[in-house]
Structure 1
Amino acid sequence: MNTAEGRGIARRKAIDAQEESEEIGERVADAKKDNVAKGIYRGGGRPFGYEADGITPRSLLCPECQATEGFVITVVREDHTHDDGPPCPITAVTVACPNGCGTEPVNAPGSEAWYLEQVTRAIVDGAANRSELRKWHAAGVKTPARRKRNPDDTRTEPKPDEWTPTTFLKLLRRPRNAGLMEVDGEIIGKGAWPAIVDEETWQICEAVLKNPARRTSPGPTRKYLGGGLYKCGLCPALAKTRGRGTARNGSVYVCSAEGYVSRNAGAVDDLVERVVIAKLCSDAPVAAQAPMAVPDTKALAARRTALRIRLTALAEAFADDEDSDPVEYKAAARRIKERITAVEQEIADAVTAAAGASSPLDDFDRTELLWPYAADPDEALTWWRETYPLEQRRDLAAALVTVTILPAEQARPAG
């Protein structure tokens, strides 16, 4: 490097190294494009729920012969007459038992695929993803082993890690779970691997998790029973709580619209819960309000799939037509995407409605409340509040009674 010739040689070597690096990058990119066109695994770290090949689920079980290895995975493609051009799109991926059993294999209990299937169905049934994540932590379910970079740029040995709320959410929304291939955030078709959950269930789960109305943090802790539940006696609005700090009367229920009423929150809750306990302990049969009708999620999922197919067909038509107008394509694609978003919102709303359609009385055994109530109603109220959380008591109150807040009498008592 002390002479012009030496510096020239160093520059040429650096240029050659840069060229070789770029060629390697181009070859890798071309290989990944080919894999995308074929619908096969593009490489990388082992996906959770699958073996290192990215194709074989981890793990399968034949319910009939109890086989756990050697399953035959077959990729079915569209039947086109021409042989040139890119491979035909994948229409289905089948899995057959190595012993020739006709029974469809299932995810083996306790395996990664089984845990992923169970949590997806739990989310569809209304479970919270953070509570499901805690179950995974308790069961010892961890991420696939990965190398980590040390401060000195060396790499550690591959080791699994705990799931975080962020990585757990990304896993649940991964299209691969339903056997779909995603490229740059867009689903382009089926992949060459078996689905861990069926596409309809995954679509519903993904729509629920995408719902902006879904609560992602606990938020303020509820202190009183009737906020947003009790009704104003002078208008159609619901009641809300309003704090008075250290004032003598404490928090009150007020009309959420015009402030027509104002009643002591603690006193109202005492009265309401005593009535609820009395109804639960009475000899008369307890009947909850009829559940609301729930939209058909299967039909909604089918609409969403049809819209995605239309979006893909629109993109293919735009790519094949050299005279097509990009502005018209973008406008048409935007309209379809807006309809997909609307259907996803309907799916999320339907799942939320289904979760609330069951009666809170289904999980309540009123016989355990009879003993303290028979001894002393005041003790029963104390036991009731110590035993059942506020949200469960609120659900029971909503199912059994309708509470209307009326204005307090303004006149002084006689005498």
Structure 2
Amino acid sequence: MRSNGGPVIRADIYVRISQDLTGEEQGVARQEESCRQLAADLGMEVRHVWTDNDLSATKKNVVRPDFEAMLASKPEAIICWHTDRLIRVTKDLEKVIELGVNVHAVMAGHLDLSTPAGRAVARTVTAWATYEGEQKAERQKLANQQAAQQGRPYTAGIRPFGYGDDHMTLIADEAAAIVEGAQMILAGESLTAVARKWDEAKLQSPRSKVTGAKGWTLRGVKKVLTSPRYAGMSTYYGEVIGEAQWPPILDPEVHYSVLAILNSPERFSGGKRTGRTPGTLLAGIGGCGYDGCTDTVNGRGYRGVPVYGCKDTHTRTPRSIADDRASKATLARLMFPDFLGQILETQNAQEGQSGAQLQSQAKELRERLDGLAMAYAEGAISLSQMTAGSQAIQKKLETIESELVSTAGIPPLDPVKGVAGLIEGWPTLPLPTRRAWVDFCCIVTLNPAKGRHLTSMSVDDHITIEWRDVSD
């Protein structure tokens, strides 16, 4: 019983930390211990302990599962280590206020949310916490940018594969694996082969030790082999802005050659990976239109007719109809006046000075290629001179163009023929390139027959096309 003779209050404990790099939950355990001591001092019983470990309370679109579950359980009182562990933004405070319960904090005292005065104090405290959080984020962003410009590593996150916890010291076996993986790609081997090699050597991704993932994914291998950091380059938000202070693992020539290979049009699938190279235009791209189905479709046969269908066969759309409509919609989008202009404008704004410099260098190299051909035609240089010069320039041009493609986020586009060439040569373009452009321009949905015979359905009955927003 409490000292005033009333019933014992059963309080809920809420603990949270934003970042748990080790995954051992030591931070939340220490908070819980202090909160239990406070509960005992206040004469309260602990009903339940709610834990959101390694979760921010200020990032947008981040849901704290135990926080929401605690609110839904209607606690009699809440105990936390500090109020900023419980609430950091106003919208969360209002959720707690709706409960009308007392909040006790080990380090920040008592908030009585059952009275107007208490709620006013809580709102003021939360407003200042939000302000400080935003100020801290801006200071941290500036500090990170300055560190990147000076070539210093960002050490707050998980260490990169190949480097130690200081993000500077080489780990010999991991560095050797990166070099070997790059050489495998240059020799024509696949990302799958590299992933298998690293798994067989029992080299684990540092991130997998936290997430619990087993083995290397193709995305993970590619991210390592194409990251500028391994060529000794410092980046900020994906843009190279200086020379790094840490030792490089790959020579720049090797890095750019691997980058060119892994981002070449021949490897561009344009859709979700299905475990094999897609053999149809809309496999892994077109979505099933059946209510509640979230699968993409794949090519298959139905009574001798090539069709698309999801794994549960909600739809059997003839491939000829779907491919023709998707191709026409893509070409129409490409010809629409606002489309590529807005893309290039957005791309230039994102790439900034670095992208403009790459474009300028690529233009200069193409002019040099034209100059060599003209010089040979006029007899100023020999065929061997033109061939050797062209090969050297072309190699450098391919490197620059691969870097532009990898940063622009748009599918392969011939820099000489441009959009006109893309439209004119559409039927003969490689399938991966056509798939890439369809997925880039359109959202394709293949609709179920709903009891109708396929031959009685119009094209619009079979397939729905939405143009993607340029800003996406």
What TM-score, normalized to structure 2? 0.35
